[in-house]
Amino acid sequence: MRGLAIAASVLVVAATLFLGAHRIRRDPAIPFLYDRHGAQWIRIEEPVSLQARWNDLRVHGFRTTFSVAEKPDRAVLNLQGMRAASVFLDGECVLDAPGGLERWKEVRTVDLAPRLVPGTHAVRVMVLNRNGPACLIAWCPELNLYTGASWEASDDGKTWTPAVPVCRPHRYEPAQNVKAVPEVFLRRLPIYAMIFCLAFGCSLIVGRAPGIRGYLTPGNVRWCVLGGFLVLGANNLWKLPLDLGFDQDGHFKYIEYVARTWRVPLATEGWQMFQSPLYYLISAPLFRLLESAFPLDTAVRLLRIIPLLCGAAQIELCYRTARRIFPERGDLQIFATILGGWMPMNIYMSQYISNEPLAGLLIGCVMYMTLPLFRDPAAFRVRQCIPLGFMIGLALLAKVTALLVVFPPVLGIARAVFSHDGPVRRRAEQTCAALALLAGVAGLAAGWYYARNWIELGRPFIGGWDASRGIEWWQDPGYRTPAQLLAFGDALIRPVFSGIYSFWDGLYSTVWMDGLLSGMADLTATPRWNYGFVFPGMWFALLPSLAILAGAAGALIRPGKSASTGLLPAALCVGLFLAALLFHFLTNPFYCAVKAFYALGALSSLAVLGAAGLGRLSSWKHSRPLVHALFACWAVSACLGFFAG
């Protein structure tokens, strides 16, 4: 049975990868550029900009020269331009650009042979793109003609400079001038050496003193983590600037709109007004109350209390999830509580106006309510779908990404029903009834919002990147390459804006630090974090990262056992969010698209997977003090690093 489950899992993963690769290759909405046939995708060389480019139309030229000794019989030039290209040979147009921009992934060809005579010739390709960079790939084996560094590029047809391959890292020079992690780490090494030695010694003492372990309970640790989090939040509430936060102004305008009009806006009415409304419906009455008692600046600042309380509630959720999954393992409960509570993306996202903390909390609650379906399927009753469906509805009202966690409850219900005895048909009917009840309750809670969108806008949901909103913009780099999917390492050296270079750098730098500087594109206006602790934390975070991977691998290798403990749904939750982040990364090829905090709903799942991995890494008595000491160094970095000065 176990072998069958593993084989089925491998088959599903393989099918998903195949379908994903096929879509990446064919879908014109995914600007994925990969070199082939000896040719490279090329672009004009220009500095990276962190600013949004609005409704931009670009026409860039690319040229090269070649010589022929005698007239060839055949010389087929193959080319692909992002998103339309015209070819000129010796100044004469030999291939015109197509009328639309949606067929740019089709390779176009033109035979140059009929127009060639012995001598030197010039090929020029004009590439047009809208809301993105103009890029080109071309090859002609008969003429030994391949796009690459030997080609030139121009944006005005007058000044020509060497073209650059798109696979070359798109460096943001101001970020290269920020102090590197190794430099900061060496400066702080004496402090971390003391923390390491203290934690190492305490681990040895606690391991040999049962009396001390009586005070180091998961419940006590939970209160310490909560207390530290709230002290940090109270300090930051008054010290962090009002304009700090991702799209903070857009979120506040949404709150103000609801507070003034007492209606939910349409997605087309403002920058952030495509968001689901629950957070803003909660914040609007509070804003009206605060506005009547305090100056406007103070009222806006105090609106941060709601995200802060959501971040604190995530700590409690991590603790309770760990208790449910590891009821007999106090050490793993402690690991999960600290790891989830002080994970930097939970800390910094809770410090300013945003809908992400509330959405993450509600999605996490859905996962918490899903666990009994896996841990105790025999106790399942159809009426359990009522509170679970209501929580799913609330999560959908907070953010549409809650759709990602619908699959684990559905799987859990089916598993629970089919674990009971009875005819297959009867169990199938019970499953359908339970799922219908789940969907019905969720629809009652959230359906009104999505139904209104469908009536008013023609679709139940319109994303923030959707051109139909009439807000068209793009950011560098504007395309994706295999290197951006496979590379990793910049986040460990220069993590600020490292999402420009690769998906994994962006993910790592926004999980374990505020890698996008809370939406501040200007390096002179960075958040007032304590970077002397934040930067070293990027190295210490390798331990919990490895632990999360180990926990997920253990859950997938033994799906039967991990399903009964609750680790499998946690792994499924993290996998679903990771797949969604990858899809978002590919379809929105901007540096700001890589934001790990979009997966705040998976925080408790990450925490328990990390705890399971840390449990494995510390299972050997000689490695236990080392793991505890390194984990303590990370925890200190996370806690002190985001205590604004």
Q: Which residue range(s) make up the domain with 14?
A: 1-30
Q: Are residues 95 and 240 in the same domain?
A: no
Q: Are 128 and 83 in contact (CB under 8 A)?
A: yes
CA distances from 274 to 450, 463, 470, 605 (A): 11, 6, 12, 27
Q: Which of 440, 392, 432 is nearest to 413 (CA)?
A: 432
User: If you search the block for the tokens 């690991």, which residue do you land on?
Assistant: 335
Q: Are residues 25 and 83 in the same domain?
A: no
| pLDDT band with cut points at 50, 70 and 90 for residue 52 | confident
Q: Which residues, in sequence order, are CB contacts of 631 under 8 Å at separation 6+?
A: 199, 335, 338, 543, 544, 614
Q: 547-559: per-residue pLDDT in tens?
A: 999 999 999 888 8
Percentage with pLDDT > 90 across the chain: 71
Q: Which residues, in sequence order, are CB contacts of 437 under 8 Å at separation 6+?
A: 382, 385, 386, 389
Q: What is the pLDDT of residue 243?
A: 85
Q: Are residues 233 and 334 in the same domain?
A: yes
Mean pLDDT of all residues in 484-496: 93
Mean pLDDT of all residues in 445-451: 94
Whether residue 564 is contained in a domain is answered as yes
Q: Which residues, in sequence order, are CB contacts of 499 under 8 Å at separation 6+?
A: 505, 506, 507, 509, 510, 515, 516, 591, 592, 593, 594
Number of domains in the chain: 3
Nearest-angstrom CA–CA distance, 149 and 134: 16
Q: Are 418 and 366 in contact (CB under 8 A)?
A: no
Whether residue 284 is contained in a domain is answered as no
Percentage with pLDDT > 70 across the chain: 96
Q: Are residues 71 and 187 in the same domain?
A: no
Burial environment of residue 53 by CB neighbours within 10 A (0 to 12, 13 to 18, 19 or more): middle
Q: 305-323: per-residue pLDDT in tens?
A: 999 999 999 999 999 999 9
Q: Are residues 404 and 514 in the same domain?
A: yes
> Before 83, cis peptide (omega within 30)?
yes
In DSSP terms, 109 is beta-bridged to: 78
| pLDDT band with cut points at 50, 70 and 90 for residue 2 | very low
Q: What is the pLDDT of residue 5?
A: 47
Beta strands in 22-134 (DSSP E): 42-43, 53-54, 57-68, 76-82, 84-89, 92-95, 108-111, 119-130
Whether residue 373 is contained in a domain is answered as yes
Q: Are residues 436 and 552 in the same domain?
A: yes
Q: What is the pLDDT of residue 209?
A: 59
Q: What is the pLDDT of residue 60?
A: 96
Q: What is the pLDDT of residue 8?
A: 52
Mean pLDDT of all residues in 511-540: 89
Instruction: Give me the amino acid identity at 161.
Output: T
Q: What is the CATH number of the domain that holds 113?
A: 2.60.120.260
Q: What is the pLDDT of residue 221?
A: 93
> In this predicted structure, which of 9-18, 246-255, 325-334, 598-607 has the lowest mean pLDDT?
9-18
Q: Which of 8, 19, 7, 58 is nearest to 583 (CA)?
A: 19
Q: What is the pLDDT of residue 182?
A: 94
Whether residue 421 is contained in a domain is answered as yes
Whether residue 279 is contained in a domain is answered as no
Q: Are residues 221 and 125 in the same domain?
A: no
Burial environment of residue 601 by CB neighbours within 10 A (0 to 12, 13 to 18, 19 or more): buried
Record the tokens describing residue 316, joined without a space.
Answer: 């409690």
Q: Are residues 224 and 314 in the same domain?
A: yes
Record the tokens describing residue 312, joined without a space.
Answer: 């604190």
Instruction: Give me the amino acid identity at 109.
Output: T
Mean pLDDT of all residues in 505-518: 94
Q: Are 63 and 163 in contact (CB under 8 A)?
A: no
pLDDT at 581 over 70: yes
**Continuous H helices in 376-476:** 385-398, 407-418, 424-457
Exposure string of 214-231, with b = 16+ CB inside 10 Å and e = fewer, is: eeeebeebbeebbebbee
Strands 119-130 and 164-165: unpaired
Mean pLDDT of all residues in 545-572: 92
pLDDT at 82 over 80: yes
Nearest-angstrom CA–CA distance, 546 and 508: 12
Whether residue 614 is contained in a domain is answered as yes
Q: What is the pLDDT of residue 586?
A: 93
> Before 327, cis peptide (omega within 30)?
no
Mean pLDDT of all residues in 270-290: 94
> In this predicted structure, which of 76-90, 274-288, 337-351, 372-386 has the lowest mean pLDDT?
372-386
Record the tokens describing residue 628, joined without a space.
Answer: 């505890």
DSSP per residue, 303-366 = TTHHHHHHHHHHHHHHHHHHHHH-TT-HHHHHHHHHHHHT-HHHHHHTTSS-SHHHHHHHHHHH
Q: 116-137: per-residue pLDDT in tens?
A: 999 999 999 999 998 899 999 9
Nearest-angstrom CA–CA distance, 378 and 398: 32
Whether residue 112 is contained in a domain is answered as yes
Q: Are 275 and 400 in contact (CB under 8 A)?
A: no
Whether residue 282 is contained in a domain is answered as no
pLDDT at 207 over 80: no
Q: What is the dihedral of CA 51, 645, 637, 178, to 10 degrees?
A: 40
Q: Are residues 92 and 224 in the same domain?
A: no
CB atoms within 10 A of CB 384: 20
Q: Are residues 67 and 129 in the same domain?
A: yes
DSSP 166: T
Q: Are residues 395 and 520 in the same domain?
A: yes
Instruction: Give me the amino acid identity at 606.
Output: L
pLDDT at 216 over 50: yes
Q: Are residues 125 and 161 in the same domain?
A: yes
pLDDT at 87 over 80: yes
